[in-house]
């Protein structure tokens, strides 16, 4: 299980990389308001795109499963 980082640490790391919320959104294929919501704490990252962003940024331990993957297959991945 990976150790998650704080939202503040994620913001600092993005700043050190010179990356914006728009850059993250573009790479992950989500709306930039979701990235901003996760970084601000307004979105917890429990489901959908917010989950994807939170896991990708390291603020949440979890698994990102591509769209179209069955629940059965996703559960196998999550168990690993």
On whether the CB atoms of residues 44 and 55 are closer than 8 A, the answer is no
- Structure confidence by residue, pLDDT tens digits, 30-40: 999 999 999 99
On whether the CB atoms of residues 51 and 60 are closer than 8 A, the answer is yes
φ and ψ at 64, to 5 degrees?
-95, 120
What are the extents of the domains in the chain?
Answer: 7-79
Helix (H) or strand (E) holding 59: none
Distance CA 67, CA 52 (A): 11
On whether the CB atoms of residues 51 and 45 are closer than 8 A, the answer is yes
**Which has the closest alpha carbon to 43: 27, 21, 65, 26?**
21
Residue 80 pLDDT grade (very low, low, confident, very high; cuts 50, 70, 90): confident
- Structure confidence by residue, pLDDT tens digits, 10-49: 999 999 999 999 999 999 999 999 999 999 999 999 999 9
What is the model's pTM? 0.89
């Amino acid at each position: 299980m990976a150790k998650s980082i704080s939202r503040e640490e994620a913001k600092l790391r993005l700043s050190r990389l010179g990356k914006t919320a728009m850059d993250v959104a573009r790479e992950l294929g989500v709306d930039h308001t979701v990235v901003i919501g996760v970084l601000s704490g307004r979105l917890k990252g429990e489901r959908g795109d917010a989950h994807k962003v939170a896991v990708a940024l390291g603020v949440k331990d979890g698994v990102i499963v591509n769209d179209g993957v069955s629940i059965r297959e996703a559960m196998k991945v999550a168990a690993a």
